[in-house]
């Protein structure tokens, strides 16, 4: 599409564009108004052909800026600009591709236990057809549901009719820390290996299936000392497995195989257990 700007003859200018469109290559864009004060260029649309395109031109010193916006008039296709939300920080999600200056109804498709959808309900789009959805952290999780959810959107078409769409999946995410430690009793042959998860959500389930202590000759059969099913009130969950290890093996060294799955986070690691104990390593 063609764009024509008018200004002071022979003055240097600069162009910019926002939305689902791009300008030509730098060497094809006029850098000055011509002797009659005109400058002409083109832009082309890009997928998803949804966000309104605004082309701007201004003098090199930043003065005299002028802009023109082109709005797509095809079928309305609501979209969002991100699909993840931090459990600890929340997020603002842009819902765009709507009719400018129209009403839109936005609701989650289920109860949200991990995040607070602050401005759900009836919203009003701006002159570019966007609304901004605000999600804030919750003080505590009482219902462990809604970690992955969709948005139910009722929006207006160009002809004034309303349609509905289901947009997602949006995932609430949280960073989980994992640490490996081993300890040996200085007065006996007892040694233990521990996997500790921290920064979890109190009451959230955690699956440690696959975690095991593999021992060689000279050790007793490993015994599970602790195997948490959920994070405690401080956000920790642990697995501790022990054995009796009196003589350092010549060929085989016990290894700790660690696996866990919680809040959409899956991880595995294997560490050698030192004969003297005292291992400490952050594995995630």
Q: What is the pLDDT of residues 2-45, one digit of tens each?
A: 888 888 888 888 988 888 888 888 888 888 888 888 888 888 87
- C-alpha 84/C-alpha 238 separation (Å) is 27
Average pLDDT over residues 117-134: 95
Instruction: Return the closest-CA partner of residue 196 out of 250, 254, 260.
Output: 260
Class assignment of domain 79-173? mainly beta
Nearest to 131 by CA among 102, 94, 162: 94
Q: Is residue 258 within 8 Å of 269, Cβ to Cβ?
A: yes
The arrangement of secondary structure in 177-282, i.e. its CATH architecture, is: Sandwich (2.60)
Distances (CA, A) of 192 to 225, 244, 255, 269, 275: 9, 9, 11, 17, 11
Q: Give the separation between CA 93 and CA 76, rounded to whole angstroms.
A: 18
Q: Specify the residue for token string 């289901």.
A: 166
Model-level pTM greater than 0.85?
no
Domain boundaries, the chain: 2-70, 79-173, 177-282
The model's pLDDT over 73-110, given as tens digits with 9 standing for 90+, comes to: 778 889 999 999 999 999 999 999 999 999 999 999 99
Longest dimension (CA), the chain: 95
Q: Let me know if the fold of 79-173 is the same as that of 177-282.
A: yes
């Amino acid at each position: 599409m063609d764009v024509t700007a008018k200004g002071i003859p022979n003055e240097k200018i600069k162009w910019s564009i926002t939305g689902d469109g791009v300008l030509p290559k730098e060497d094809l864009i006029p850098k000055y108004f011509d002797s009659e004060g005109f400058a002409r260029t083109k832009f082309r649309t890009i997928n998803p052909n949804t966000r309104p395109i605004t082309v701007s031109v201004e003098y090199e010193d930043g003065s005299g800026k002028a802009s023109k916006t082109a709005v797509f008039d095809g079928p309305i296709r609501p979209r969002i600009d991100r699909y993840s939300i931090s459990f600890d920080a929340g997020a603002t999600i842009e819902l765009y591709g709507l009719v400018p200056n129209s009403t839109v109804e936005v609701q989650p498709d289920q109860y949200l236990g991990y995040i607070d959808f602050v401005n759900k309900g009836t919203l009003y789009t701006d002159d570019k057809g966007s609304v901004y959805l605000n999600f804030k952290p919750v003080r505590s999780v009482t219902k462990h549901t809604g970690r992955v959810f969709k948005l139910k959107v009722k929006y207006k078409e160009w002809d004034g009719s309303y349609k509905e769409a289901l947009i997602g999946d949006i995932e609430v995410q949280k960073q989980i820390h994992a640490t490996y430690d081993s300890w040996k009793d200085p007065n006996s042959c007892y040694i233990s290996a521990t996997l500790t998860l921290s920064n979890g959500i109190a009451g959230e389930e955690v699956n440690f299936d696959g975690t095991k202590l593999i021992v060689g000759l000279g050790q007793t059969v490993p015994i599970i000392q602790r195997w948490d099913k959920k994070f405690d009130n401080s956000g920790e969950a642990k697995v501790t497995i022990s054995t009796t290890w009196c003589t350092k093996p010549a060929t085989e060294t016990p290894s700790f195989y660690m696996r866990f799955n919680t809040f959409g986070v899956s991880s595995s690691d294997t560490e050698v257990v030192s004969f003297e104990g005292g291992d400490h390593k952050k594995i995630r």
